[in-house]
Amino acid sequence: MSLATTVEPGTKVEFGRPGTPSYRVGTLVSIASAEALGRREAEPSALVAWESGEEEWTELSLLRAAS
């Protein structure tokens, strides 16, 4: 089952591996198709509000639901 079918806005998500500099935790704000964002890819993207205060569109497959 993909993350897109298991999360909804407000879900806490994580990116990267714990203990590495790229590891981040945030809250899923929205999910949009690549086409809606003007991208030539097939994979949907997620708008994430990171704990640092930044918001960023990220490929959905790079995120995991945080425990």
- What is residue 40's predicted lDDT score, i.e. its pLDDT? 77
DSSP, residue by residue, 45-67:
EEEEEETTS-EEEEEGGGEEE--
Global pTM?
Answer: 0.81
Walking along the chain (67 residues) 10 residues at a time, the average pLDDT comes out as 68 95 95 82 88 93 89
